[in-house]
Amino acid sequence: MKRFLIAVGLIIALGVAAVAGGYAYWQHRLAAPIALDEPALYQVPAGAGFNQVLRQLEAEGIVQARWPFQLLARLEPEQVPRLRVGEYQLVPGMSGMELVALLGSNNVVTYPLTIPEGWTFRQMRALLDSAPKLENRTAEMSETRSWPYWGVKARFLRAGSFRIPTATTWA
């Protein structure tokens, strides 16, 4: 009986050690830096789910394995933010957890766009048509027909400088 109790105690101790070691390894993988040598842009596409983004990050070699993040989503879903569409600046040395937090933040890359004072709607529309990373949904519409999409009631708009995120559509 004494041997049996020692064997059970040993099995329990080994089980606890295995669980603790597995947990430590999982946490290590989440804290490990992503595999980048230089800053890179990463685009979260519209409608992409967490697992789809993980597959893409793994395929691009940014994360070495997706299983730690999938396990995180299962065991601690509150740690996985809702992904936001946009383009993100990834930097070498950031951890996997920092990457997950970034992809759920509003910290998207933006591009400058300036509309000079006194420009007409037609001039502004030509500028928007030529703006990189901006999708135009009114390209085939006449000028006056596209005004309601903008809430425009006059031919002149307010001048200003704007920061436009990648996934922006106009009108």
Mean pLDDT of 125-148: 72
- For residues 135 and 162, state if they share a domain: yes
- For residues 95 and 122, state if they share a domain: no
Mean pLDDT of 4-21: 87
Mean pLDDT of 45-61: 91
pLDDT of residue 26: 81
Domain limit, last residue, from 103, 128, 152: 103
Which of the two residues, 156 and 112, has the higher pLDDT score? 112
Q: How far apart are the first and last CA of the chain?
A: 79
Domain limit, last residue, from 86, 103, 120: 103
Among 72, 79, 77, 64, smallest CA distance to 23 is for 72
Mean pLDDT of 26-43: 89
- For residues 36 and 98, state if they share a domain: yes
- For residues 53 and 96, state if they share a domain: yes
pLDDT of residue 148: 65
- On whether the CB atoms of residues 112 and 132 are closer than 8 A, the answer is no
> 36 lies in which domain range?
32-103
How many CB atoms lie under 10 A from the CB of residue 167? 17
- For residues 58 and 98, state if they share a domain: yes
Buried b (16+ CB within 10 A) or exposed e, 127-154: ebeebeebebebeeeeeeebbeeeebee
Q: Give the dihedral of Cα atoms 56, 58, 60, 64; nearest 10 deg.
A: 160
pLDDT of residue 102: 94
Residue 149: pLDDT above 70? no
- For residues 89 and 144, state if they share a domain: no
Please, which residues have CB within 8 angstroms of residue 90's CB and are 6 or more apart in sequence? 34, 36, 39, 40, 41, 42, 62, 99, 102
Long-range CB contacts (< 8 A, 24+ apart) of 146-153?
146/171, 147/121, 150/121, 152/121
Q: How many domains does the chain have?
A: 2
pLDDT of residue 152: 55
pLDDT digits (tens, 9 = 90+) for 77-135: 888 888 888 899 999 999 999 999 999 898 988 888 787 888 877 787 788 777 777 77
pLDDT digits (tens, 9 = 90+) for 89-102: 999 999 999 999 99
What's the pLDDT band for 163 if we cut at 50, 70, 90?
Answer: confident
- For residues 61 and 91, state if they share a domain: yes
- Residue 16 in domain: no
pLDDT of residue 169: 57
CA–CA separation, 31 and 121 (whole Å): 50
